Amino acid sequence: MSLTLTLAVRDLDRTAEFYGEVLLLAIERFAPSPGHPDVLLLACGDTAILFRELAALEAMHPALFQNLERHPRGVGMALELPLKKLRPVLRNIDRHDLHTLYELEDEEFGRREIWLHDPDGYLVILTEEPEEAGP
């Protein structure tokens, strides 16, 4: 089964910079069809996260989005993204002077995590799992 999440963001360029340049994730920018606003795609296995500008979503679905600004986006949701190495991302986070909520390390299982918010307030949890031991 595959899953597609669509997240509303204020500024597509700022979102592309955060996920692509700061978090070092492969993010693709494209127009779904001629004349339509650009979308960002972050593919994670069988899951696709689409980032669309809030103004474009609101224009397409005004009734659905008329109350969106009353509530913080992503409340109760976290995007958990696995990375091979957290160290380069941590350097970028420091370089951009971003605030992290947590840096956790589970010594028993060798798992590391960084918790932070993206520019639109979505909670992002970056994980680094231990490397698989060979046979």
Would the pLDDT of 131 be above 60? yes
The two tokens of residue 40 are: 């960002």
pLDDT tens string 75-115: 778 999 999 899 999 999 999 999 999 888 877 777 899 99
Average pLDDT, the chain: 87
Please say if the pLDDT value at position 56 is more than 60.
yes
Q: What's the CA dihedral at 37, 40, 41, 42 to 10 degrees?
A: -160
pLDDT at 106: 76
Quick one: pLDDT at residue 27? 96
Predicted local distance difference test score (pLDDT) of residue 104: 80
Q: Alpha carbon 3 to chain centroid distance?
A: 15
Distance of alpha carbon 90 from alpha carbon 87, whole angstroms: 5
pLDDT tens for 14-36 read: 999 999 999 999 999 999 889 88
Residue 120 confidence (pLDDT) above 80: yes
Q: Report the DSSP beta bridge partners of residue 127.
A: 82, 113
List the chain domain ranges. Answer: 3-128
3-128, superfamily in CATH?
Answer: 2,3-Dihydroxybiphenyl 1,2-Dioxygenase, domain 1 (3.10.180.10)
Q: What is the reported pLDDT for 49? A: 95
Characterize the bridge pairing of strands 47-53 and 39-44: antiparallel
Is pLDDT at 134 greater than 60 in this prediction?
no
